[in-house]
Amino acid sequence: MRILLSDGSGLTSRQCATLLSRAGHHVEALSPDPLCLCAFTRHVRRVHRVPCYGADPYGWLEAATGVYRRGRFDVLLPTQEQVAVLSRERGAGTATAVPPFDALAAVQDKVSAHATLTRLGLPQPVSAVVRDLAEWDGYPAYVKLPIGTAGGGVRRLTGPGEPWPGEPELLVQREVAGPLVMAQSVFAEGSLVAFHACLRVREGARGGAAHKRAVTLPEVREHVRALGAGLGWHGALSADVVLGADGPVFIDINPRLVEPVNALLSGVDLVTPLLDLALGRAVEPQPAAVPGVRTHQLLLAVLGAASRGRRAVLAELAGAAFRRGPYEGGTEELTPGLDPRAMVLVAAAASATLVNPDAWRWFASGSVAAYALTPESWRLITGS
């Protein structure tokens, strides 16, 4: 099939491209940046220039559907925040898998997601929606803007602080100690057809998971099933969950797919069910994951190490080269097998951060800016 990815800049898109290409599909991607992550892999045939989604979601949509029609693609696969405008416009004439817009709106912003979790009786940290942080007492805590992507709009507080100006509402949540789990799922009209959970073993740039390990968490699976069923969800749904001393708590909901390679290596295919949903085909439920599968993303690990200095970058590269420490027994997610173009990007990131460790910010921030949903773009989509 000919598959067009809604985004070419993010880690999820890069991983989807590899899986789809290896399955025999023709893959192209959309991005405002011609030097995006998906440009550095043999698994993507072409990157099409489109307007920046966050700045102009409907300009992006017009350009995306034009590429889709002219290229005679079979599926437009939403791999990032573009799912919001595609849901609002019911796919805009493309074959795609998106939830009903009222379901998406119930979790897209953090204030609404908090209300939805409360309504469904699902666990979350001690939380409150406030207009002034003086109303909150309980630290350390995280204060969150309603709209933010990849950790944007989240601030950790150890005591009373100033809110962001111009924001009528903020979500504040008491910090819960414990490991972070990335829970991923696919639903068909409210019915769970695929689920996977992996532990963030090591943190990379901007809080991303540089190293992961698949885990079996029946309680989290049941919570995710209840969330998707309660919303009548259709398509991909992901969540960040902290395994606290009193049990798992939801700290973030993403109405889209997140980095599917660890899931596939663990026996759970998250991508094929999305293609089946997009094409209106029957979806076969996926088996339970095999726990313990370890994966890593060297690019993310190098950028994360750069925030600690040159020696940390050298140590990271040595560990990967000799498969020591967290790299022992693991599989690379972003650059598996022979992919010279992908290795060029890793080499460039390593070289740049060795010369100037602060260069990691340029590599990390550029990708997020290309696909992030902003408060302004969310207001355009909702018409509010």
- The predicted-structure confidence for 329-352, as pLDDT tens digits, reads as follows 999 998 766 777 878 888 888 898
Is there a domain that residue 8 lies in? yes
If asked whether residues 182 and 282 sit together in one domain, one would say: yes
Mean of per-residue pLDDT scores for the chain? 92
Give the tens place of pLDDT for each residue, 93-120. Answer: 999 999 999 999 999 999 999 999 999 9
Is there a domain that residue 9 lies in? yes
Across the beta sheet with 141-144, what order do the strands follow? 127-130, 170-174, 141-144, 154-157
If asked whether residues 282 and 353 sit together in one domain, one would say: no
Is there a domain that residue 300 lies in? yes
At 153, is the pLDDT very low, low, confident or very high (cuts 50, 70, 90)? confident
Query: What do you get for the CA distance between the two ends of the chain, in Å?
Result: 38
If asked whether residues 215 and 248 sit together in one domain, one would say: yes
Give the tens place of pLDDT for each residue, 131-140. Answer: 888 888 889 9
Which among 263, 107, 74, 95 has a CA at the least distance from the CA of 182? 263
If asked whether residues 42 and 140 sit together in one domain, one would say: no
Is there a domain that residue 151 lies in? yes
DSSP state of 187: E
If asked whether residues 55 and 77 sit together in one domain, one would say: yes
The number of distinct structural domains making up the chain is 4
If asked whether residues 232 and 280 sit together in one domain, one would say: yes
If asked whether residues 208 and 262 sit together in one domain, one would say: yes
If asked whether residues 96 and 167 sit together in one domain, one would say: no
Q: Where are the alpha helices (DSSP H) in the chain?
A: 11-22, 57-70, 83-88, 101-108, 110-119, 218-231, 261-265, 271-278, 298-306, 310-321, 340-355, 360-371, 375-382
Residue 301 vs residues 307, 310, 316, 350: alpha-carbon distances, Å = 10, 13, 7, 10
Give the tens place of pLDDT for each residue, 239-282. Answer: 999 999 999 999 999 999 999 999 999 999 999 999 999 999 99
At 164, is the pLDDT very low, low, confident or very high (cuts 50, 70, 90)? low
CATH code, domain carrying 285? 3.30.470.20
Measured between alpha carbons, how far is 332 from 355 in angstroms, rounded to an integer? 25
Range of the structural domain that residue 302 is part of: 296-371
CATH code, domain carrying 60? 3.40.50.720
Give the tens place of pLDDT for each residue, 13-54. Answer: 999 999 999 999 999 999 999 989 999 999 999 999 999 999
Which among 383, 67, 10 has a CA at the least distance from the CA of 208? 10
**Radius of gyration (C-alpha) of the chain in whole angstroms:** 20
Residue 58 vs residue 160, higher pLDDT: 58
Measured between alpha carbons, how far is 325 from 174 in angstroms, rounded to an integer? 33
Identify the pLDDT of residue 340: 78
Identify the pLDDT of residue 224: 98
Is there a domain that residue 377 lies in? no
If asked whether residues 307 and 357 sit together in one domain, one would say: yes
Which helix (H) or strand (E) segment is 216 a member of?
A: none
Residue 171 identity (one-letter amino acid): L
For residues 378 and 108, is the Cβ–Cβ distance under 8 A? yes
Measured between alpha carbons, how far is 69 from 63 in angstroms, rounded to an integer? 10
If asked whether residues 248 and 147 sit together in one domain, one would say: no
Domain end (from 116, 143, 174): 174
If asked whether residues 82 and 53 sit together in one domain, one would say: yes
Is there a domain that residue 243 lies in? yes
Is there a domain that residue 234 lies in? yes
Which among 41, 55, 34 has a CA at the least distance from the CA of 13? 41
Identify the pLDDT of residue 366: 59
If asked whether residues 192 and 136 sit together in one domain, one would say: no
Domain end (from 113, 143, 174): 174
In the block, tokens 């097998």 appear at: 337
Is there a domain that residue 231 lies in? yes
The count of other CB atoms within 10 Å of the CB of residue 328 is 10
The count of other CB atoms within 10 Å of the CB of residue 322 is 10
